Structure 1
Amino acid sequence: MQAGYFNAAWHDIKNSPGWFGKLLVLGLVSLVPIFGWIVVAGYLYGWARDIAWGVHAPLPAHVFGNEDGRLYSRGFFVLVISFVCSLIPWAVELVGSILTGGSFGIWSGWGYHSGFLSFPLGLASGLVGMVFFALSIAAYLFTAFFTWVGSMRMSIYGRLSAGFQFGKIWSMLRHDFVGMLRILGMAVLMAIATTVVVTILIVVVVFLCVAIGFAVTGGNLNINSSRFDAAIVGMVFGVGGVAIVLSLLAGFASMVVAVFFTAMIARALGYWTQQFNVPAWRGQDDPMPFELAGAAGGPGGGGQPPYQQPPMR
């Protein structure tokens, strides 16, 4: 287990030439529905794959460079893995809702599911609801783990099927579950920080709009004042226009923060995967080096050659 995944990831990002400009470009690209995040995921998980191979390289110079020819397929596969895995906690919540006759849930990447509403079977229904609520939390956590590790395996082998080898993924998680918990903990802290930043941006936008409204209406926001025409123009075009511009800027800034958040997690996952001696991996169905060492008391041999050679920069 390697310590300091996020510290290493942060140093790799900030030491990349023009890193902030790249994040701005990725943030702008992410505004394009679906396609944008295909590009972002393909770009960042390709970079994560590099460090998993032990290749220390800065952020790729061009967002659309597609040096290895897998930028778009890799990004699309990451989205597919994320979507399929997200169905598991959703199914748990659905079963719980059916059994309790109510609804329950927690905050997830897909939205907020409301709290307990009704329990027609009384206390028993409430206990069942609590059990399924706990199961939902566990499902969301393990969904994140399987999504992350599955995306790394897919990025290394270049095949979607490698991202759904749950037995292999579980074997890797068991080998260093503490390290994955550390990444999750830092991801949660970053999510909290991201929420604070977005909230501050919203407050700033509202404050600036109100301040402009006071300025153009003589300081009282009263559209019935003697400056009726000026007030109407100020409130509708001035304040409204500025609100739109500031809202767009705040939205763009929040997307840049989300991209940075994703970059940190992906690079940290690359460092976590590095411990599994990726250059020694063979076919996606073959045992991994640590499995061979555990079975035979030492490194094993035979099998197929690695599916994909280390990326060249």
Structure 2
Amino acid sequence: MQETKYLSHVWAQLTEDKGWITTILMLSVCMLLPVVGWIWIIGYETEWALLIAQGIEGPPERKNIDIVRCFRSGCHTVAATLSWCVILGSFLYLVLRMVSDASFSPNIDALGIINSLFHFWAVFVILSARSSIFMPVLAVVSLYVNFMVIASLRAAICRNPAAGYQAGHILGMIGRDLNGYLNISGMTMIAMFIGNIVFIALSQVAAAMILLSLGISNMVFRIFLFLMFCLPVAIVYTLISLIDYAMVGLWMRQFNEAGSAHPHL
């Protein structure tokens, strides 16, 4: 599928529903719910990507959403990619140790590995000031993230987390259409770069808001300031993640992975 225009194809499907912005906002609000919300969002994205992989065209479901099914799919995805996430987190942690100095991070220890799993964008904020290493790291992360997305979709297709750890099978798929995989990963890299810029810009605004809130005792206002920062970030990253999953699903269509899966799909 080297000739496929992945981004334009997926974007056309997403925006086919005039209420697609509502869908993004709904997912963004869910992203503000730790753990449970994240798992459900991953499951929602996975289910749409599976439909695309099956050749079913159309926007993601907005009204008749099977909440339980999405959460179950998200659990499969988390189980199928947890070890891969540990590897990614360890890599980012090592990069963080290489580029950080004592004045910036005096107390980094082994717990940083766990922290980087959930806040690896913070690593990119640090790297952004060191362009010589930032772009190579971003390229590696983009390639690896899409590897994990393939693993998560395979686990969802087979309804078995173990399918996500069949590295040989996944690498075989990539080898059969390396150009398509690199195409998607390149777009993922650009999206992450843009997301990083948004994150940095909003971080500066958040810092100003924090200074402003120090002299304000109203808790409701503080919560408002917190949401003013978190919600825009959630919207950007939700859109990036949703489109990335869909593009990988479109890429996997050529291998008929979903077509040979359990008929319950």
TM-score range, shorter chain: 0.7 to 0.9
Taking structure 1 as the reference length, the TM-score comes to 0.64
Q: Give the SS at the match of 1:308.
A: coil
Residue 74 (structure 1) shift: 1.1
Residues 217-296 of structure 1: pairs in structure 2 closer than 5 A = 235-237=215-217, 242=221, 244-278=223-257, 280-281=259-260
Q: Which residue of 1 aligns with 2:79?
A: 80
Q: Which residue of 1 aligns with 2:154?
A: 153
Q: Distance in 2 between matches of 1:8 and 1:242?
A: 42
Residue 161 (structure 1) shift: 1.8
Q: Give the SS at the match of 2:4.
A: coil
Q: Which residue of 2 aligns with 1:104?
A: 98
Q: Which residue of 2 aligns with 1:51?
A: 52
With over 3 angstroms needed to count, the CA separation of the structure-2 counterparts of 1:63 and 1:259, relative to structure 1, is farther
1:24 aligns with 2:25: yes
Whether the 8 Å contact between 2:14 and 2:58 is mirrored in structure 1 is no
Q: Distance in 2 between matches of 1:138 and 1:157?
A: 29
> Which deviations, in whole Å up to 9, do the C-alpha atoms of 1:132-151 show, x marking residues without a partner?
xxx98897565424311111
Residues 143-222 of structure 1: pairs in structure 2 closer than 5 A = 143-204=144-205
Q: Distance in 2 between matches of 1:89 and 1:243?
A: 34
Structure 1 letter corresponding to 2:52: I
Q: Distance in 2 between matches of 1:144 and 1:206?
A: 29
CA RMSD, Structure 1 to Structure 2 (Å): 3.6
Q: Distance in 2 between matches of 1:80 and 1:254?
A: 26
Residue 91 (structure 1) shift: 5.8
Q: Which runs of 5+ in 1 are unaligned?
A: 98-102, 116-134, 214-233, 282-305
> Which deviations, in whole Å up to 9, do the C-alpha atoms of 1:187-230 show, x marking residues without a partner?
111112112223333444566788x89xxxxxxxxxxxxxxxxx
Whether the 8 Å contact between 1:6 and 1:268 is mirrored in structure 2 is yes
1:307 aligns with 2:258: no
Structure 2 letter corresponding to 1:3: T
Structure having greater relative contact order (Cα 8 Å, sep ≥ 6): 2
Q: Give the SS at the match of 1:70.
A: helix
Stretch of structure 1 that moved more, 159-168 or 57-66: 57-66
Whether the 8 Å contact between 1:209 and 1:242 is mirrored in structure 2 is no
Structure 2 letter corresponding to 1:49: L
With over 3 angstroms needed to count, the CA separation of the structure-2 counterparts of 1:263 and 1:243, relative to structure 1, is same
Q: Give the SS at the match of 1:62.
A: coil
Residue 186 (structure 1) shift: 0.9
With over 3 angstroms needed to count, the CA separation of the structure-2 counterparts of 1:41 and 1:105, relative to structure 1, is farther
With over 3 angstroms needed to count, the CA separation of the structure-2 counterparts of 1:82 and 1:105, relative to structure 1, is farther
With over 3 angstroms needed to count, the CA separation of the structure-2 counterparts of 1:157 and 1:85, relative to structure 1, is same
Taking structure 2 as the reference length, the TM-score comes to 0.74
Q: Give the SS at the match of 2:58.
A: coil
Q: Which residue of 1 aligns with 2:110?
A: none
With over 3 angstroms needed to count, the CA separation of the structure-2 counterparts of 1:260 and 1:191, relative to structure 1, is same
Structure 1 letter corresponding to 2:30: V
